Amino acid sequence: MSSVEFFFDYGSPYSYLADSRLEGLRQRTGAEIVYRPMLLGGVFKATGNRSPFLEPVEAKQRYFSLELRRTVARLGVAFKHNPNFPINTLGLMRAAYAAQSLDVFPTFHLAIYLAFWTKGADLGQGEVIEKVLSEAGLEGREILELSVSDESKGALRATTDEAVERGVFGAPTFFVGGEMFFGNDRMDLVEEELAGREAK
C-alpha cells in the first residue's frame, strides 16, 4: 500500500484546506496518510523563506488573500480568518506529538483545526488549547503537560530538521516515496503519482 506523508503546521491556512481533502484522497487511492507535524517558523528560518502573508509587494499580498477566498469557496469548507493570526504555534505543534503518543491524535487534530480556522481561537495560549481539547473530550491538561517533555520537543525538532533536509520550504508539503509536492493546489499531482505507482 502506498503512503502520503503530510508535513503541516496548524498555523498554515493552506495546510488546513489540504487536510480537508485528505480523506477523499485516501478513499479514492487507498493510500495511508502519515501526519508529520512540523514547525513552519523553523522551516522558514532554516530556508530563508517567509509566510506569503508577509509578502512585501502589496498587490501580490492582496492576490494571495483573493486566491485563498476563491479556494475556500471552491472546496466548500468552513473557514474564518483567525483575528489572532499570525500565532506562535510552537506549543501547539509539540502538543500534536503528545497527542500522537497518547493515541488521541485524530480527535486532537480535528479539534485544533476547527478551533484555529473556523472559530478564531488564540491557540498560542496554553489555557486556550487546554479548553479546546477538553471540550473535544480529551484530557487537555495531560496533553499539554506531555507537550513540554523532552520526547515531544525532540520529536518536533527532529521532524522539522528532517523536513528541511528533504527540501521542504513551506506548508503543506507532501511526499510520495521520494517525490515531493508543495501546496494544496498540487494535490492532483499527488493523486497522479499514487495512481502511477499502483499501475506498476
Task: Determine the pLDDT at residue 73.
Answer: 96
Q: pLDDT truncated to tens, each residue of the chain (200 aa)?
A: 799 999 999 999 999 999 999 999 999 999 999 999 999 999 999 999 988 777 788 898 889 889 999 999 999 999 999 999 999 999 999 999 999 999 999 999 999 999 999 999 999 999 999 999 999 999 999 999 999 999 999 999 999 999 999 999 999 999 999 999 999 999 999 999 999 877 66
CA distance 80 to 83: 9
Beginning with the edge strand found earlier in the chain, give each strand of the sheet holding 179-182 in spatial order: 32-37, 3-8, 173-176, 179-182
Give SS3 for 98.
helix
C-alpha cell at 128: 486556550
Domain residues for 141?
A: 3-199
Domain tally, the chain: 1
- Give CA separation, 42 vs 38, 69, 78, 160, in Å: 8, 27, 28, 7
* CB-based contact 25:31 (threshold 8 Å): yes
Here the CATH number for the domain that contains residue 85 is 3.40.30.10
Task: Determine the pLDDT at residue 50.
Answer: 87
